[in-house]
Amino acid sequence: MRRTAQDVPLLDYVRRPGLPAVTVQHWVGDHPSEGPRFSGTHAHDFLLLLYVACGSLVARVDGRDRTIATGDAFVIAPGAVVTPGRPDPDGDVWAVSFPPDAVDPGAAAPLVSWRGHPLLAPFVGNHRGGGQRLRVPPDDRAAWLAHLTDLDAELRGRRDGYADAARAHLTLLLVRLGRLGIDLPDELDVDPLVAEVLEIVESRYHEAISLRDVADAVGLTPGHLTTVVGRATGRTVQQWITERRMREARRLLADTDLTVADIARRIGYRDAGYFVRRFRSAHRVTPTAWRRGTP
């Protein structure tokens, strides 16, 4: 498992073939619905939206104890260090987790650019730390609960068109979140060097590019660049290259009839077998199984 610069576990969003990249969990008291369990102090590389329909929850985010009560939404940005708490015995809490590209799967921009997406602006905010609490007006709470319930039902029922329906419900939730009066920073806190590195990855991921190639392009040693990018993003340069290639591979598998070998060449892998191994390592299935939508 990867670790952050603070040496805490960094959890990846686990994608499933044929399924939209969004997960809903619902806690009623101490009884959560099915889904990933986040225990102990950790960080994650995806976005997390909490909504407390009833009761309260205490969590520690970036060194601050945060109390979330009835009618509160709470957003946690990727990279925030979280120690989760338990809801009240009579609590009713919803959690929606998703990677940035779930909002716009066809987007080609580097994932770090999620901070510039208007629907994800509430996850930036102007508060210190990676989480902030937002009060949902009483008149809006029924609509919030309806969107969460419908999103959960679509993901569980998997009826025809459910992926589009789930994305629509997620979008509506984020629109409602954005209407809660978020104060945004004048400038996004993105290191210019990191931005340059990710621009290079974006423009050259389809080549046989290496860490040394990127380091040469920005005028740093590979070791220094690894340290800077790792501290800022929680990922190495090579992991960013692989992530971009895998994202394009998923798109090509879903939207084209290209062979696995052709896809490998298009995303910078000379050896199709190596591409298959990398894809299986990232997604736990082969590219062919992903295309079929089977585990």
Q: Identify whether 61 is part of a domain.
A: yes
Residue where one domain finishes, among candidates 147, 178, 209: 178
Q: In which residue are the tokens 């394009």 written?
A: 248
Residue where one domain finishes, among candidates 178, 205, 225: 178
The average pLDDT across 167-187 equals: 76
Q: What's the rounded Cα separation, in Å, for the pair 225 and 52?
A: 41
The average pLDDT across 124-129 equals: 54
Q: Identify whether 269 is part of a domain.
A: yes
Task: Indicate if 145 and 249 belong to the same structural domain.
Answer: no
Taking alpha carbons only, the member of 147, 149, 155 closest to residue 174 is: 147
Task: Indicate if 206 and 136 belong to the same structural domain.
Answer: no
Q: Of the given ranges (60-69, 92-101, 125-134), which has the lowest mean pLDDT?
A: 125-134
Q: Which residue has the higher pLDDT, 1 or 46?
A: 46
Phi, psi of 36 (to 5 degrees): -65, 145
Cβ neighbours of residue 117 closer than 8 Å, sequence gap 6 or more: 100, 103, 104
CATH number (domain holding residue 219): 1.10.10.60
Query: 72, 135 in Cβ contact below 8 A?
Result: yes
The structural domain count of the chain equals 2
Task: Indicate if 127 and 224 belong to the same structural domain.
Answer: no
Q: Which residues of 36-168 form beta strands (DSSP E)?
A: 43-44, 47-54, 56-61, 64-69, 72-76, 82-83, 92-98, 131-135
Task: Indicate if 253 and 125 belong to the same structural domain.
Answer: no
Q: Which pLDDT score is estimated for 185?
A: 45
CATH number (domain holding residue 132): 2.60.120.280
| R_g over Cα of the chain | 20
Pairing of strands 56-61, 82-83: antiparallel
Query: 174, 163 in Cβ contact below 8 A?
Result: no
Q: Which residues of the chain form beta strands (DSSP E)?
A: 10-11, 23-28, 31-32, 43-44, 47-54, 56-61, 64-69, 72-76, 82-83, 92-98, 131-135
| Dihedral sign from CA coordinates of 252, 256, 261, 265 | negative
Task: Indicate if 110 and 167 belong to the same structural domain.
Answer: yes
Q: Which residue has the higher pLDDT, 109 or 277?
A: 277
Task: Indicate if 167 and 200 belong to the same structural domain.
Answer: no
Name the residue range of residue 121's domain. Answer: 10-178
Task: Indicate if 162 and 202 belong to the same structural domain.
Answer: no
> What is the rounded average pLDDT for all residues in the chain?
83
Q: Identify whether 60 is part of a domain.
A: yes
Residue where one domain finishes, among candidates 144, 178, 212: 178
Task: Indicate if 162 and 277 belong to the same structural domain.
Answer: no
The average pLDDT across 47-74 equals: 89
Task: Indicate if 104 and 221 belong to the same structural domain.
Answer: no
Task: Indicate if 22 and 155 belong to the same structural domain.
Answer: yes
Q: Which pLDDT score is estimated for 17?
A: 82
Q: What's the rounded Cα separation, in Å, for the pair 197 and 186?
A: 23
Task: Indicate if 34 and 162 belong to the same structural domain.
Answer: yes
